[in-house]
Amino acid sequence: MNIDVIILSIATLIGLYMAANIGANDLANAMGTAVGSRALTLKQAVIISIIANVLGATLAGGYVTGTISKGIIDPGLLMDAPNNLMLGMFAALIAAGLWVHLATYFGLPVSTTHAIVGAVVGFGIISVGAGAVSWGKIISIALSWVISPVAGALIAGGIYYFLEKRVMAAGDPYAAAVHYAPGMIFFVMLVLILSFIFKGLKNLHLELGFFYTVLLTIPCAALAAMFGRKWVRWQVHVKCELGPNPQGFSPAECLFAQLQVLAACYVAFAHGANDVANAVGPLAAIFSVVETKSVALQVEVPFWMLFIGGIAVGGGLYVFGTRVLETIGKNITEITPIRGFCAQFGAATTILICSRLGLPVSTTHVLVGSVVGVGLMRGIGALDLRILKNIGFSWVVTLPFTMVLAMLIYKVLALFLL
Amino acid sequence: MRLLISSLFHRSPFEDLQKHADKVKECTRLFREAVVCHIGQECKRFDLLTEQVARLESEADDIKRNIRNHLPRGILMPVDKFEFFDYLREQDKVLDEVEEALFWLSFRPEGIPAELAADIHDLIEAVIPPIEKLPELVTLAREYFKSRSEKQRTRMKSLIRDIRQHEREADHLERELKFKIFTTIKDALVVYHLVRLVEHIGAIADHAQNASDRMRAMIAT
- CATH code (residue B177): 1.20.58.220
Say what the pTM is: 0.83
* Element of type H or E holding B76: strand B75-76
Residues of A in contact with B4 (CB under 8 A): 25, 28-29, 32, 104, 107-109, 324
B8, B72, B78 member nearest A378 (Cβ)? B78
CA A337 to chain B, closest CA, distance in angstroms equals 10
B150 with A105: Cβ contact below 8 A: no
Q: Is residue B2 situated within a structural domain?
A: no
* Nearest alpha-carbon partner for B73 in A381, A384, A334, A368: A384
Q: Does A376 contact B at CB distance below 8 Å?
A: yes
* Nearest alpha-carbon partner for A378 in B18, B145, B213, B13: B145
* Nearest alpha-carbon partner for A192 in A228, A147, A236: A228
B3, B71, B148 member nearest A168 (Cβ)? B148
CA-nearest residue to A168 within chain B is: B149
* Element of type H or E holding A300: strand A298-300
Q: What are phi and psi of B102, to 5 degrees?
A: -65, -35
Q: Mean pLDDT highest for which of A100-114, A192-206, A277-291, B121-135?
A: B121-135
Task: List CB contacts of A358: < 8 A, sequence separation 6 or more.
Answer: none
Residue B3 pLDDT level (bands cut at 50, 70, 90): low
Q: What is the pLDDT of residue B208?
A: 96
Beta strands B75-76; A383-384: pairing state: antiparallel
Beta strands A298-300; A383-384: pairing state: unpaired
Q: Is residue B47 situated within a structural domain?
A: yes
Q: Is residue B76 situated within a structural domain?
A: yes
Q: What is the pLDDT of residue A242?
A: 67
Judged against a pLDDT cut of 70, whether residue B195 lies above it is answered with yes
CA B212 to chain A, closest CA, distance in angstroms equals 20
Mean pLDDT, range B65-87, rounded to an integer? 89
A320 with B147: Cβ contact below 8 A: no
Residues of A in contact with B9 (CB under 8 A): 36, 331-332, 334-335, 371, 380-384
CA-nearest residue to A375 within chain B is: B76
* Nearest alpha-carbon partner for B141 in B9, B11, B15, B3: B15
Name the domain count of chain A: 1
Q: What is the pLDDT of residue A69?
A: 59
CA-nearest residue to B8 within chain A is: A384
User: How many residue pairs bridge chain A and chain B with CB atoms within 8 Å of each other?
Assistant: 121
User: CA dihedral in degrees (A351, A354, A360, A366; nearest 10)?
Assistant: -40
**3-class DSSP state of A211:** helix
Q: Does A105 contact B at CB distance below 8 Å?
A: yes
Mean pLDDT, range A244-272, rounded to an integer? 81
Q: Does B7 contact A at CB distance below 8 Å?
A: yes
Q: What is the pLDDT of residue B60?
A: 95
Q: What is the pLDDT of residue A65?
A: 60
CA-nearest residue to A326 within chain B is: B3
Residues of A in contact with B11 (CB under 8 A): 331, 382
Judged against a pLDDT cut of 60, whether residue A377 lies above it is answered with yes
Least confident of A86-100, A358-372, B142-156: A358-372
Residues of A in contact with B78 (CB under 8 A): 378-381
Interface of A with B in 173-212 (CB under 8 A): 173
* Alpha carbon distance B105, B107 (integer Å): 6
Instruction: Quote the mean pLDDT of chain A.
Output: 82
Structural Rg of chain B based on CA atoms = 19
CA-nearest residue to B13 within chain A is: A382
Q: Is residue B65 situated within a structural domain?
A: yes
**A106 or B14, which is more confident?**
B14
Mean pLDDT, range A81-94, rounded to an integer? 87
Q: What is the pLDDT of residue A68?
A: 58
Name the domain count of chain B: 1
* Alpha carbon distance A199, A185 (integer Å): 20
Distances (CA, A) of A357 to A151, A253, A362: 12, 33, 14
Least confident of A156-160, A407-411, B217-221: B217-221
B7 with A107: Cβ contact below 8 A: yes
Q: Is residue B1 situated within a structural domain?
A: no
What ipTM does the predicted assembly reach?
A: 0.77
Domain boundaries, position A217: 3-417
A379 with B78: Cβ contact below 8 A: yes
**3-class DSSP state of A66:** strand
Q: Mean pLDDT highest for which of A42-46, A230-234, B194-198?
A: B194-198
Q: Does B146 contact A at CB distance below 8 Å?
A: yes
Domain boundaries, position B131: 12-218
B147 with A324: Cβ contact below 8 A: no
Residues of A in contact with B13 (CB under 8 A): 382
**B125 or A5, which is more confident?**
B125
CA-nearest residue to A330 within chain B is: B6
A164 with B148: Cβ contact below 8 A: yes
Q: Does A367 contact B at CB distance below 8 Å?
A: yes
Q: Does B44 contact A at CB distance below 8 Å?
A: no
Q: What is the pLDDT of residue B1?
A: 47
A169 with B5: Cβ contact below 8 A: no
Mean pLDDT, range A79-97, rounded to an integer? 87
